[in-house]
Amino acid sequence: LRYGEPTLRRAVPLALALISVSNPRLNILDTLSKFSHDADPEVSYNSIFAMGMVGSGTNNARLAAMLRQLAQYHAKDPNNLFMVRLAQGLTHLGKGTLTLCPYHSDRQLMSQVAVAGLLTVLVSFLDVRNIILGKSHYVLYGLVAA
């Protein structure tokens, strides 16, 4: 994965976020934390946002501490700082009362509308520099469906 194609490396954090939405597992958070310090800025953007998706609505203390450290680390870069603030907002979503998880009824049923909202946002992050950090940041409102 370290020596893979750049497009593949940019998509892996988003895939990790999709398989673990609102379910902060330790091994996934550690992997995303390693990707957040990558030399490629788009991999860094995607991994920071993926950290927010993984911890969305959980108020996870470990993730919150990781995001605070990332905010200090990326204080000079406004785009990375924007992603960190976005991830922090997702982590503390509704002060712990809301979630983005598309499953309900004890993980028996999946909401197709919620999955469509998540996929819309995650696919737009494949070109994060032109879509999310460009003039189409309103695509983030797709998370409302989740």
Decide if 1 is inside a domain.
no
Q: 10 Å Cβ neighbour count for 63? A: 24
The yes-or-no verdict on residue 104 having pLDDT over 90 is no
Position 90 in a domain: yes
**Within 10 Å of residue 94's Cβ, how many Cβ atoms?**
10
pLDDT digits 0-9 by tens, 36-94: 999 999 999 999 999 999 999 999 999 999 999 999 999 999 999 999 999 999 999 98
Q: Is residue 33 part of a domain?
A: yes
**pLDDT value for 108:** 85
**Nearest-CA neighbor of 52 among 7, 85, 11, 12?**
85
Where in the sequence is the domain holding 46, given as residue range(s)? 6-145
Residues of the chain with pLDDT > 70: what percent? 99
Mean of per-residue pLDDT scores for the chain: 93
